[in-house]
Amino acid sequence: MRSGGVRRTAVAWAGLGALMTALSACGGPSGHGTSTSAGDPADDGGGRSGATSADPARIPGVGDRIQRRIPADSRQVVAVYGDGRDSPDSTVVLYTKQGSAWHRARDWAAHNGTKGWATDHHENDRRSPVGVFTLSDAGGVLPDPAPGAGLPYTRSAAFAAPRWWDASYRHDFDYVIAIDYNRVKGTPPNDPTRPEGASKGGGIWLHMDHGSGTSACVSLPKPAMEYLLRTLDPDRHPVVVMGDRARLRA
């Protein structure tokens, strides 16, 4: 049974300056990128599955270096498999742990940074950071689709995309889940605090998809975001494992 999450209401501190800081990594027209179909996450692009895919105690397509960074108590992993180092296209898979075995629950076509991936992400490089990050907080313009359970959720109009963005991008932050990269856990996703400094970027989220690459976030279809918001459980210590396939396998 999932424990009830703390529900948050709109927060007064989320003014325009804080909003623009948070949005700098996440949204806006990004130039290019096409949708991709979800396939075998361990496939290296040449039709071969990674060596880790046969071991149920491991996340498929993830090598020892990153596998060791998945917390021992985590029982939910959102894996983002980027198509290539410089590609904006990716596949997202939710794995849940039952006993010692990981099971593939759902998968979706998705997008990451317009320019691909970075092992040393910096503000405005338009690449998503490679790594393992906890998932602690959520929010958005729309009401929580899973009231009373799941990640703490902040509903606020402050998440709304700027009106000068193209209409096809304005829904991007209807739902967001903060990726705990250079942020303070336990705060709303649009909290502008950057513990490692502004140059390291921040405001990196899972959010709604607009059909192309992002500034650094990972974007998914609305049904996927709703499913994750209903399913991710703080008691199961969810994390995101993200990167291009080659570096995930390394």
Cα–Cα distance, 94 to 89 (Å, whole number): 17
Is residue 149's pLDDT more than 90?
Answer: no
37-73 pLDDT, tens digit each:
445 555 544 333 333 447 999 999 999 999 999 999 9
Cα–Cα distance, 109 to 35 (Å, whole number): 7
Cα–Cα distance, 184 to 179 (Å, whole number): 10
The mean pLDDT of 102-114, rounded to a whole number, is 98
3-class DSSP assignment, residue 27: coil
The values of phi and psi at residue 70, to 5°, are -75, 120
Q: How many CA atoms lie within 13 A of 136 on its CB side?
A: 13
- Residue 168 binned pLDDT confidence (cut-offs 50, 70, 90): confident
- State residue 42's pLDDT score: 54
Higher pLDDT, 247 or 44: 247
This prediction's pTM: 0.85
- What is the CA angle 107-112-118, rounded to 5? 125
- State residue 119's pLDDT score: 96
3-41 pLDDT, tens digit each:
344 444 443 333 344 444 455 556 555 433 333 344 555
- State residue 25's pLDDT score: 58
134-144 pLDDT, tens digit each:
999 999 999 99
Cβ-based burial of 166 (10 A; exposed 0-12, middle 13-18, buried ≥19): exposed
- State residue 164's pLDDT score: 87
Higher pLDDT, 138 or 167: 138
- Residue 165 binned pLDDT confidence (cut-offs 50, 70, 90): confident
Cα–Cα distance, 196 to 142 (Å, whole number): 30
